[in-house]
Amino acid sequence: DGGITQSPKYLFRKEGQNVTLSCEQNLNHDAMYWYRQDPGQGLRLIYYSQIVNDFQKGDIAEGYSVSREKKESFPLTVTSAQKNPTAFYLCASSVSRGGQSGETQYFGPGTRLLVL
Amino acid sequence: GNSVTQMEGPVTLSEEAFLTINCTYTATGYPSLFWYVQYPGEGLQLLLKATKADDKGSNKGFEATYRKETTSFHLEKGSVQVSDSAVYFCALSRYNQGGKLIFGQGTELSVKP
């Protein structure tokens, strides 16, 4: 089955710790995205990548970092600089390099990050 | 800037009632418009979309029409079921913006038997 997998489902972070959220897709999609969802709010874009070895900041990139070394993988690191990391994190992908309006984005099941 | 505004929830309906969830947008040019649905504890799934004015998107009994004159994309369903209980998100994307989606805040729907 093709799709997007995110792991872990739940992640706990201690003060001053960096944590990495995994996102893998086997849809052969070029573009990948990371969104953050807070209770009662819509999703906000953290980072996106349209091609391997390239990525751009979204609306709330501060305190986060990403890499795109392989087409199928787009891990997100939540650094200690992110002061309010508790949220639900969603990864998504779409077919082309993101220049097209109207493309469907396919979402993974999400990772819930909690601060200890 | 670009933005999406949805009616506030939660919306509570009885089974077989008619559903409308309002969505209006602000954007330059001709955005594409989407409705996504999120079931508890899950990611988002595309429900329907429309890419140009007057297009109607439809899926699983849900419909929405892209109205440029009123900058709206309201979601409707004639008869809701308990299984439709979820959070519904309206979103837009614009050409040459990296494909990124701009979301409304979401509207929670609860359908009672």
Residues of chain B found within 8 Å of residue A33, distances taken between Cβ atoms: 99-101
Per-residue pLDDT, A97: 65
Q: Do A109 and B42 make contact, defined as CB atoms within 8 angstroms? A: yes
**Residues in CB range of A24: below 8 A, 6 or more apart:** A4, A5, A6, A72, A73
Average pLDDT over residues B8-17: 95
The side-by-side arrangement of strands in the sheet containing A19-25 is A4-7, A19-25, A76-78, A64-66
**Per CB distance under 8 Å, which residues of A are interface residues toward B?**
4, 6, 31, 33, 40-45, 48, 50, 56, 58, 90, 92, 94, 96-110
Residues of chain B found within 8 Å of residue A5, distances taken between Cβ atoms: none
Per-residue pLDDT, A100: 65
Per-residue pLDDT, A99: 58
- The torsion of the CA quartet A19, A52, B46, B2, rounded to 10 degrees, works out to 90
How many C-beta atoms surround the C-beta of residue A19 within 10 A? 19
Instruction: State the nearest Cα–Cα gap between A46 and chain B, in angstroms.
Output: 10
Residues of chain A found within 8 Å of residue B44, distances taken between Cβ atoms: 43, 90, 92, 107
How far apart, in whole angstroms, are the C-alpha atoms of residue B104 and residue A47?
A: 18
Per-residue pLDDT, A28: 94
**Residues in CB range of B106: below 8 A, 6 or more apart:** A40, A41, A42, B6, B9, B38, B87, B88, B89
Q: Which residue of B has its CA nearest to A99?
A: B96
Instruction: State the nearest Cα–Cα gap between A29 and chain B, in angstroms.
Output: 13
Q: Which of A62-71, B35-44, B58-67 comes out lowest in average pLDDT?
A: B35-44
SS3 label, residue A69: coil
Q: Is the model's pLDDT at B97 over the cut of 80?
A: no
Per-residue pLDDT, A98: 57
Q: Do B97 and A100 make contact, defined as CB atoms within 8 angstroms? A: no
Task: Give yes or no for B49 touching A (CB within 8 A).
Answer: yes
Average pLDDT over residues B13-42: 94
Average pLDDT over residues B55-78: 97
Q: Is the model's pLDDT at B113 over the cut of 90?
A: yes
Mean pLDDT in order along chain A per 10 residues (116 residues):
89 91 96 93 92 94 97 96 92 79 89 91
Residue B44 pLDDT class (50, 70, 90 cuts): very high
Residues of chain A found within 8 Å of residue B45, distances taken between Cβ atoms: 107
Task: Give yes or no for B98 touching A (CB within 8 A).
Answer: yes
Q: Considering only CA atoms, which of A60, A64, A62 is closest in space to residue A42?
A: A60
Per-residue pLDDT, B96: 72
Which of the residues A9, A59, A104, A106 would you substitute to probe the B interface, choosing the one with the greatest number of B C-beta atoms within 10 Å?
Answer: A104
